[in-house]
């Protein structure tokens, strides 16, 4: 028998790609003591790589500043901010040597092969992302039309919403608990605090002037799209869900001879989309490899040390939610086997981790829940798109830890009432959080404001946000699928729905 007949299963290939990508990225990592400078000298454009400096000094009126050896990120941010780059002089001090650069045009990190292959990963994520909207529309229309009866839809919808809210509330409580017990904020030194604030302050969404807040009535109004095509073009998930469900239900109210071809059309579209997921997933090992390699190569690992307790609290919380809360939900409420569930979800989890986007992962989640776990289309097609939109347990949990962490660094003690306010605000915020990378940290501003924690404290945690975003997205996606399976388990007669 030829060895070529032996085929490695896709989920194993993706796992290998994840590990190999991380190793590749670590090997070809971007030097954190290296900068590429482009500057003009006597009319000539020159490029120079500077390495292992002791000190970099910016001279020139209001832009004067001194940076030391391990402040690459801060240097690049400072340079970017300078409006009149021509007016500054940059001195690079290395032991006894000082080099001076004028008319500096760009300052950048070096590029390595690991960051250069990122476009391959981006293509993979874009392929998955473009499937999300048509897939949601088609599956929801068919799902709602086949439920046939508004009462059944109401029951499934109510249950789905209820379980989503409960799991999110549990998640954030775990987050608060972990942060209160571990007390990560008390383990950050004053110097570390100052440096983090100095480096990331300008990026924090905290200096948004207007007061952000959640207006529930406005939120409800916004669920109804003025123009469904606009909603689709802008990827407004809740509006799309509203339109598609309404459309699907109304299909059952018109003449069968007219509704049948429409349902068949959308059913066909949904099947094509799912097939496209299968084809695109053949690229998954390469896409995952490229994404992870680029992220690891570009990551400043030195910051991990400073924030290790904070990250530990978030990751411990996410692990509890993912490996204890969901299996319990599946077993005791959904009456289904957690092990089978986790096996089926492996691909979706790996894609969630590499893409940091529940929306991009949705097609893979749908594929796993429908095809691998055999959950009927009516349930999966309804519960999962809704979940990708409103259910963000990982995000809510992380926001709980982050709020307490920032409060601790600022020496604030949060009362029980304040922690409860965090629970409520985070549950609402997670409904409004878009399922794309990095949004959780923006919604965190609202939560911090609700209990008067200074929002600029976000600067403290920005450096590790990408890594935690990857982890919390895995929990978000695992939660969506677990609820879909649970709902199916409680709807005994779902096959005849």
Of 29 and 357, the one with the shorter C-beta distance to ligand ASP is 357
Asked if 454 and 301 touch (Cβ cutoff 8 Å), the reply is no
CA separation for the pair 153, 30 (Å, rounded): 52
Determine, following the binding rule CB under 6 A, whether residue 322 of this chain makes contact with ligand ASP: no
DSSP-assigned letter for residue 322: I
Candidate residues 358, 365, 391, 419; the one interacting with ligand ASP per rule CB under 6 A: 358
Q: In whole angstroms, what is the distance from residue 407 CA to residue 411 CA? A: 6
In the numeric block, which tokens belong to residue 104?
Answer: 């500096």
Residues 453 and 404: their CA atoms lie apart, in Å, by 9
Q: Which is nearer to ligand ASP, 121 or 440 (CB)?
A: 440
Separation of alpha carbons 219 and 144, rounded Å: 23
Dihedral sign for Cα atoms in the order 6, 12, 13, 19: negative
- Residue among 270 and 355 whose Cβ is closer to ligand ASP: 355
Is position 478 an interface residue for ligand ASP (rule: CB under 6 A)?
Answer: no
Q: Which helix (H) or strand (E) holds 55?
A: strand 55-59
For ligand ASP, the closer CB: 184 or 394: 394
**Which span sits near ligand ASP by CB under 6 A: 101-109, 187-195, 311-319, 430-438?**
430-438
> Given the rule CB under 6 A, which of 53-61, 239-247, 287-295, 428-436 is the region that contacts ligand ASP?
428-436
Name the minimum Å distance from CB 318 to ligand ASP: 11
Which of 160, 408, 476, 478: binder of ligand ASP (CB under 6 A)?
Answer: 476
When the beta carbons of 269 and 436 are compared against ligand ASP, the nearer one is: 436
Residues numbered 391 to 410 that lie near ligand ASP (CB under 6 A) are: 392, 395
Task: Find the part of the chain contacting ligand ASP (CB under 6 A) among 107-115, 168-176, 234-242, 356-364.
Answer: 356-364
Query: Strand, helix or coil at 8?
Result: coil
Do you know the residue count of the chain? 497
Beta carbon nearer to ligand ASP, 357 or 408: 357
Quick check: 293 and 117 in contact, CB under 8 A? yes
Provide, rounded to whole angstroms, the least separation between the CB of residue 264 and ligand ASP: 33
- 111 neighbors 346 (Cβ within 8 angstroms): no
Distance between CA 125 and CA 357 in Å, rounded? 9
Helix (H) or strand (E) holding 97: strand 97-102
From the list 19-27, 49-57, 133-141, 353-361, the region that binds ligand ASP by CB under 6 A is 353-361
Would you give the DSSP letter of residue 334? S
Structure tokens at 367: 């594929």
- Tell me how far, at minimum, the Cβ of 426 lies from ligand ASP, in Å: 11
Q: What does the block give as tokens for 305? A: 């040390």
129 versus 473: smaller Cβ distance to ligand ASP: 473
List residues bridging with 58 in a β-sheet.
65, 90
Residue of closest CB approach to ligand ASP = 440
Of 365 and 476, the one with the shorter C-beta distance to ligand ASP is: 476
Q: Does 439 bind ligand ASP (CB under 6 A)?
A: yes
175 scored as a contact of ligand ASP (CB under 6 A): no
Q: Shortest approach of ligand ASP to residue 315 CB, angstroms?
A: 14
Distance from C-alpha of 348 to C-alpha of 345, rounded to nearest angstrom: 5
Give me the least distance between CB of 127 and ligand ASP, in Å please.
17
Cα gap 381→120, rounded to integer Å:
29
Q: Is 236 in the site for ligand ASP (CB under 6 A)?
A: no
Q: Which of 48, 436, 456, 497 binds ligand ASP (CB under 6 A)?
A: 436
* d(C-alpha 447, C-alpha 438), whole Å: 16
How many residues in the shown chain lie near ligand ASP by CB under 6 A? 16
Residue number with CB closer to ligand ASP (15 or 436): 436
Applying CB under 6 A, among 469, 487, 488, 491 the residue interacting with ligand ASP is 469
| Min CB(474)–ligand ASP separation in Å | 9
- 3-state DSSP call for residue 277? helix
In whole angstroms, the minimum distance from the beta carbon of 441 to ligand ASP comes to: 7
Compute how many other C-beta atoms are within 10 angstroms of the C-beta atom of residue 260.
12
Q: Please provide the DSSP assignment of 194-233 as one string.
A: HHHHHHHGGG-GGG--SPP---HHHHHHHHS-S-HHHHHH
Nearest distance, CB of residue 395 and ligand ASP, angstroms: 4
**Cβ closer to ligand ASP: 74 or 171?**
171
Calculate the alpha carbon distances from 41 to 93, 100, 104 in Å: 19, 11, 9
Q: Which is nearer to ligand ASP, 344 or 471 (CB)?
A: 471
3-state secondary structure of 434: coil
Out of 21, 25, 435, 457, which residue is the one contacting ligand ASP (CB under 6 A)?
Answer: 435
472 binds ligand ASP (CB under 6 A): yes
d(Cα 346, Cα 272) in Å, to the nearest integer? Answer: 23
Asked if residues 206 and 445 have their Cβ atoms less than 8 Å apart, the reply is: yes
| Contact status: 71 vs ligand ASP (CB under 6 A) | no
Residues within the interface to ligand ASP (CB under 6 A): 356-358, 392, 395, 433, 435-440, 469, 472-473, 476
């Amino acid at each position: 028998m030829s060895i070529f007949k032996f085929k490695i299963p896709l989920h194993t290939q993706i796992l290998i790609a994840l590990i190999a990508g991380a190793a590749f990225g670590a090997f070809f990592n971007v030097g954190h003591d290296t900068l590429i400078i482009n500057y003009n000298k006597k009319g000539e454009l020159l490029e120079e790589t500077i390495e292992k400096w002791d000190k970099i000094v910016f001279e020139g009126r209001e832009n004067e500043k001194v940076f030391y050896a391990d402040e690459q990120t801060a240097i690049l941010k400072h340079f970017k901010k300078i409006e009149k780059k021509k007016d500054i002089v940059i001195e690079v001090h290395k032991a006894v040597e000082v080099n001076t650069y004028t008319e500096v045009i760009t300052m950048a990190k070096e590029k390595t092969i690991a960051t250069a292959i990122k476009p391959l990963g981006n293509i993979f994520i874009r392929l998955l992302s473009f499937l999300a909207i048509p897939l949601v529309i088609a599956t929801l229309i068919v799902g709602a039309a086949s439920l046939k009866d508004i009462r059944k839809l109401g029951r499934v919808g109510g249950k789905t919403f209820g379980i989503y809210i409960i799991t999110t509330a549990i998640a954030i409580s775990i987050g608060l608990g972990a942060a209160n017990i571990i007390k990560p904020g008390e383990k950050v030194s004053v110097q570390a605090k100052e440096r983090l604030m100095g480096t990331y302050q300008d990026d924090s969404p905290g200096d948004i002037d207007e007061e952000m807040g959640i207006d529930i009535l406005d939120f409800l109004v916004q669920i109804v799209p003025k123009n469904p095509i606009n909603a689709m073009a802008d990827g407004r998930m809740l509006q799309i869900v509203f339109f598609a469900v309404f459309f699907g239900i109304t299909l059952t109210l018109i003449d069968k001879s007219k509704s049948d071809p429409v349902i068949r059309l959308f059913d066909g579209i949904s099947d094509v989309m799912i097939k496209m997921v299968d084809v695109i997933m053949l690229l998954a090992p390469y896409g995952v490899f490229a994404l992870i390699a680029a992220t690891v190569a570009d990551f400043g690992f030195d910051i991990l040390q400073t924030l290790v307790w904070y990250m530990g609290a978030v990751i411990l919380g996410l692990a509890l939610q993912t490996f204890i809360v969901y299996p319990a939900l599946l077993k005791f409420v959904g009456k289904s086997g957690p092990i089978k569930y986790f096996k089926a979800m492996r691909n979706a989890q790996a894609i969630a981790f590499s893409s940091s986007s529940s929306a991009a992962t949705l097609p893979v989640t749908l594929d796993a829940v429908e095809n691998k776990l055999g959950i009927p289309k009516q349930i999966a097609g309804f519960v999962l798109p809704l979940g990708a939109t409103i259910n963000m347990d990982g995000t809510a949990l992380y926001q709980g830890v982050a709020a307490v962490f920032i409060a601790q660094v600022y020496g604030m003690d949060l009362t029980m009432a304040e922690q409860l306010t965090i629970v409520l605000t985070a549950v609402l915020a997670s409904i409004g959080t878009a399922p794309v990378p990095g949004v959780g940290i923006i919604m965190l501003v609202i939560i911090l404001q609700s209990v008067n924690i200074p929002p600029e404290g976000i600067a403290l945690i920005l450096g590790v946000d990408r890594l935690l975003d990857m982890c919390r997205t895995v929990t978000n996606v695992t939660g969506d699928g677990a609820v879909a399976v649970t709902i199916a388990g409680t709807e005994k007669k779902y096959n005849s729905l």
